[in-house]
């Protein structure tokens, strides 16, 4: 079992804040404009802008200019950090899934052999 | 504790047999190779030594006593429950997590067993562990407590919806 790298640290750290986790949940649905995100939380634009900055710096979201309106910025999730996190969790889970599969096979073979 | 990973399976033997086979014959079913064992070059013999307080070890050489201590047995309660500490190869000395295995009767006559592994204690890893970095203990525990379950599904769903498995 091996775990983590610098990228994973940053992902976990950025997600330690409940507001930022909710922003991520919101962006999982689709990319959104900064104003939309602030509205969804009833947060002030400066407060939301700080959260978005952290998410951006930690590489969880990226921003781009809206195609419709160049003054408007749209935020979307970047998949990479989520894959790192997902991979870490899945590694531990699949470690035990494989172990229990192997145990089941062994136990049932032994029991069958003895006609229990 | 909520910072835990849960995995279970149903085994077609009763709890007495399940507990005994899980512990006495651990080396027969514990998977081999560096992903599952603790030495990169060669597999040793994995075993639980005795009951509570005993070692969970992979032994490479009986004569010299060369072994990797994976952890210690904390609860030995056949045929219901086994708890032991668990170290991965990359863990620093003194750093550990905890594994609890529960054996619950299943099937109409209790002739089968639901075996559940709970792997927990990730928040006890050292301050500079990659998994926790600059978070202090309470922030980390809080984060895991609030979000661990969601994290499992949400991170996975996200990776899946992007069509690229993690």
User: How much is the pLDDT for B125?
Assistant: 54
Two tokens at B137?
Answer: 């203990």
Give the minimum alpha-carbon distance from A89 to chain B in angstroms, rounded to a whole number: 7
B5·A90 Cβ contact <8 A? no
Contacts of B142 in chain A (CB under 8 A): 16
**Residues B47/B30, Cβ–Cβ less than 8 Å:** no
User: How much is the pLDDT for A36?
Assistant: 87
Question: How many helices (H) and strands (E) are present in chain A, helices listed first?
Answer: 5, 3
In this structure, are strands A32-33 and B55-61 parallel, antiparallel, or unpaired?
unpaired
The pTM assigned to this predicted structure is 0.62
**Burial of A61 per CB tally in 10 Å (0-12, 13-18, 19+):** buried
Contacts of B18 in chain A (CB under 8 A): 107
Q: How many CB atoms lie within 10 A of CB A65?
A: 11
For residue A16, give the chain B residue with the closest CA: B143
**What pLDDT, in 10s, does the model give residues B123-133?**
555 444 544 44
Q: Tell me: ipTM over 0.90.
A: no
**Interchain CB contacts (distance < 8 Å): A and B:** 145
**Residues B151/A84, Cβ–Cβ less than 8 Å:** no
**What pLDDT, in 10s, does the model give residues A58-102?**
888 998 887 777 777 899 988 777 766 666 667 778 889 999 999
Contacts of A108 in chain B (CB under 8 A): 11-13
Residue A47: CA count within 13 A, CB half-sphere:
11
CA distances from A17 to A3, A61, B82, B122, B156 (A): 22, 15, 35, 18, 20
Residue A52 CA to residue A58 CA, distance in Å, equals: 10
For B4, the 3-state DSSP assignment is coil
């Amino acid at each position: 079992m091996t775990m983590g790298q610098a990228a994973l640290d940053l992902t976990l750290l950025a997600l330690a804040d409940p507001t930022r986790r909710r922003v991520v949940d919101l962006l999982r649905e689709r990319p959104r404009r900064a104003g939309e995100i602030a509205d969804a939380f009833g947060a002030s634009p400066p407060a939301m802008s700080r959260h978005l900055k952290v998410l951006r710096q930690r590489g969880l979201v990226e921003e781009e200019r809206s195609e419709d309106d160049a003054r408007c910025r749209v935020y979307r999730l970047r998949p990479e950090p989520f894959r790192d996190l997902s991979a870490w969790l899945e590694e531990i889970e699949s470690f035990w899934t494989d172990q229990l599969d192997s145990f089941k096979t062994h136990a049932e073979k032994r029991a069958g052999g003895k006609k229990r | 504790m909520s910072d835990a990973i849960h995995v279970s399976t149903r085994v077609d033997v009763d709890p007495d047999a399940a507990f005994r086979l899980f512990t006495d014959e651990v080396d027969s079913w514990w998977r081999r190779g560096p992903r599952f064992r603790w030495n990169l070059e060669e597999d040793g013999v994995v075993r639980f030594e005795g009951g509570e307080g005993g070692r969970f070890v992979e032994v490479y050489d009986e004569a010299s006593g060369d072994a990797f201590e994976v952890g210690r047995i904390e609860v030995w309660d056949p045929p219901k429950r086994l708890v032991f500490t668990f170290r991965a190869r990359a863990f620093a000395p003194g750093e550990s997590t905890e594994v609890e295995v529960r054996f619950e009767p299943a099937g109409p006559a209790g002739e089968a067993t639901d075996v559940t592994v709970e792997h927990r204690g990730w928040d006890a890893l050292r301050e500079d562990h990659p998994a926790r970095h600059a978070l202090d203990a309470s922030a980390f525990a809080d984060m895991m407590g609030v979000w661990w379950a969601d994290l499992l599904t949400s991170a996975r769903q996200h990776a899946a919806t992007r069509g690229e498995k993690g």
